[in-house]
Amino acid sequence: MASTYYRLSELKRWTSLPAFPHLNAQGEKLLSSEHYLLKVRELGQEVYDEDNNNIEAMRTLSLTSESDEERLQWQRLVVRTETPDYLTCRLLQGALSRVYDTPGDRSRAYSEAARCYMTSYRESEAQLGKWNMAGEVINSLESAGQTLRKNRFLSEVKEDIDPERRVQELANMRRLSLDEAEFTLQTLCLGSVREMLGIEYCSMAIEDALRSISSLASETSVSYTEAIMEGINTRLQPAGMVQTEDLNPFKKEISLLVEQEVIAKGVTSGKIYSTYSFLVNNDLEKSVDAQLKAVELEPENGDYRVTLGHLHYQRGELELAKQQYQQGLDLLPDYRKASLIRILGSMNIELD
């Protein structure tokens, strides 16, 4: 049987139905009590008795169930009642994993979870969410050992994404608005898409975006170029749970393109140089020079100075690092200063 603490934490995380302001005001101790859990279950049952199609009520009854089997029954009912979304499939997968824990049963569980994610994928209109859902389908089918189904689904996803067309669009960005260009980069470099289709499309997208910036230099605003560069920078760095180490081999190639296709053509700003500094951060001397240029172009940007401080620190230049940290701290808004001070404290750095 799932513990009271587990059921309550899941309940608070996934449903908004248990709203007892007079109880919640008394603090967390009531949220860890069996009494509270029973009250919430009674509320869920009342709502469900009035409306058998109320998804929040079903979810509440599932999350307050005393047995894993009952919890799974409620989650399956949610899936049958409405087109599942990501949350529904995730909760179903969690319930399946708690009931089916032998090797043969786990394969069955992954297959059922894949069906849920696949239904959600085909009904979803939010594109980036759709690609993440596709990644869940692939992972579930792989875990279930269903290679043929996985390959058929991969073909479906590739046809939906149409990566060749998207890369070609970036090769001629005159046809794209800034939002469209950023979205295309984000799609092809999304972690789940890279895992499904490989990193080559992401690399080609970044290269073509940079070359297009070069060809449009005379008619493109610096802010447009900055936005594309920032998008590239974001794609190259870890973001949340999506790891991007697989793109690191392309950083050197991309940094050369930035030199040749952006900076050499006179499209410069602090943001562009700061992004370039990140791209070449395996060469500290070159990275510091680029970040110094960013500071020179935008001396009032506290973030650039903090980054320069980090680079000096990596080179063992403590006094220079402290100087930049202090100037950056003075420029940052008040609500961010405490965070920087904590970080510096963890590095045993004290500012005057």
pLDDT tens string 243-292: 445 556 666 777 777 787 778 877 678 888 888 888 788 889 999 999 99
Q: Is residue 24 part of a domain?
A: no
Q: Is residue 308 part of a domain?
A: yes
Q: Is residue 351 part of a domain?
A: yes
Tell me the C-alpha distance between 141 and 273, whole Å: 43
pTM beyond 0.85: the answer is no
Range of weakest confidence among 108-122, 165-179, 196-210: 165-179
Tell me the C-alpha distance between 245 and 186, whole Å: 16
Q: Is residue 69 part of a domain?
A: no
At what angle are helices 284-297 and 270-279 packed, to 10 degrees? 170
Share of the chain above pLDDT 90, in %: 37
Q: What is the pLDDT of residue 28?
A: 44
Q: What is the pLDDT of residue 21?
A: 39
Using DSSP's 3-state secondary structure scheme, residue 242 falls into strand
Q: What is the pLDDT of residue 233?
A: 67
Q: What is the pLDDT of residue 25?
A: 40
Q: Is residue 101 part of a domain?
A: no
Pick the residue with more confidence: 160 or 272?
A: 160
Q: Is there a contact between 7 and 37 (Cβ–Cβ < 8 Å)? A: yes
Using DSSP's 3-state secondary structure scheme, residue 93 falls into helix
What are the CB-based long-range contacts (under 8 Å, 24+) for 179-186?
Answer: 181/209, 181/228, 181/231, 182/227, 182/228, 182/231, 183/127, 185/209, 185/228, 185/231, 185/232, 185/235, 186/128, 186/231, 186/235
Q: Is residue 256 part of a domain?
A: no
**Residue whose tokens read 């029973």:** 38
**Structural domains counted in the chain:** 1
Q: What is the pLDDT of residue 69?
A: 94
Range of weakest confidence among 182-186, 214-218, 248-252, 293-297: 214-218
Most confident of 157-166, 189-198, 244-253: 157-166
Spell out the residues 6+ positions from residue 220 whose beta carbon is closer than 8 angstroms to its own: 213, 267
CA distances (Å), origin 276, targets 101, 161, 259, 328:
49, 29, 8, 20
CATH number at residue 348: 1.25.40.10
Using DSSP's 3-state secondary structure scheme, residue 239 falls into strand
Using DSSP's 3-state secondary structure scheme, residue 53 falls into coil
Provide the 10 A C-beta neighbour count for residue 298. Answer: 17
Q: Is residue 160 part of a domain?
A: no
> Which structural domain range is residue 334 located in?
268-352
pLDDT tens string 55-113: 888 888 888 888 999 999 999 999 999 999 888 999 899 999 999 988 778 999 999 99
Spell out the residues 6+ positions from residue 84 whose beta carbon is closer than 8 angstroms to its own: 78, 92, 116, 119, 120
Tell me the C-alpha distance between 304 and 107, whole Å: 50
